[in-house]
């Protein structure tokens, strides 16, 4: 995972603050709380692989992956709002696919709000909607993609 480093428990506050800033734009568009902002990041840091992309001393990206029995679950992919369109999101997604392949997993899954502007991007890079689930304040899309080239 080139250029990415694993987060440690001491990164918790920094990751939480970063996630709030990164997901603020999504919340504004969808008009509902972003799922990653409802989490206990202490538990996330214990249960998941949390990868950080730093540009010098500045945190510019966070990738949170959960290893499941048959797939890698993309809990969160977040970039600095100022790096929109820079290719950083694609680099983080490529790292997630590389990690899944390294673990011998043929699939990556994620969930997102159906109104999330990133849905089109997920589809463009190969994710398909597996099913939709109505939840309070949102319609959740369950999506997945093959990690095979």
pLDDT band at 34 (very low <50, low <70, confident <90, very high): confident
Residue 101 CB partners (closer than 8 Å, separation 6+)? 147
- Give the predicted TM-score (pTM) of the model: 0.92
**Residues 113-140: what's their mean pLDDT?**
91
Residue 33 clears pLDDT 70, i.e. is over it: yes
Domains and CATH numbers, the chain: 4-146 (3.40.630.30)
Q: What SS3 string covers 80-118? A: CHHHCCCCHHHHHHHHHHHHHHHCCCCEEEEEEECCCCC
Q: How much is the average pLDDT of 96-111?
A: 96
Can you spell out the DSSP letters for 28-93?
HHHTS--GGGGS-HHHHHHHSEEEEEEETTEEEEEEEEEE-SS-EEEEEEEE-GGGTTSSHHHHHH
**pLDDT range class, residue 70, cuts 50, 70, 90:** very high
Average pLDDT, the chain: 91
Give the separation between CA 38 and CA 111, rounded to whole angstroms: 14
């Amino acid at each position: 995972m080139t250029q990415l480093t694993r987060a440690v428990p001491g990164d918790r506050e920094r990751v939480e603050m970063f996630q709030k800033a990164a997901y603020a734009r999504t919340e504004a568009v969808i008009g509902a709380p972003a799922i990653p902002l409802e989490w206990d990041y202490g538990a996330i840091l214990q249960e998941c692989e949390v990868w950080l992309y730093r540009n010098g001393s500045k945190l510019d990206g966070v990738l949170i992956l959960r290893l499941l029995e048959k797939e890698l679950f993309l809990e969160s992919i977040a970039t600095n709002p100022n790096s929109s369109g820079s290719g950083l999101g694609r680099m983080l997604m490529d790292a997630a696919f590389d990690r899944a392949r390294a673990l011998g997993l043929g699939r990556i899954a994620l969930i997102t709000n159906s109104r999330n502007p990133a849905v089109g991007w997920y589809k463009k890079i190969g994710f398909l909607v597996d099913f939709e689930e109505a939840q309070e304040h949102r319609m959740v899309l369950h999506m997945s993609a093959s990690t095979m080239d």
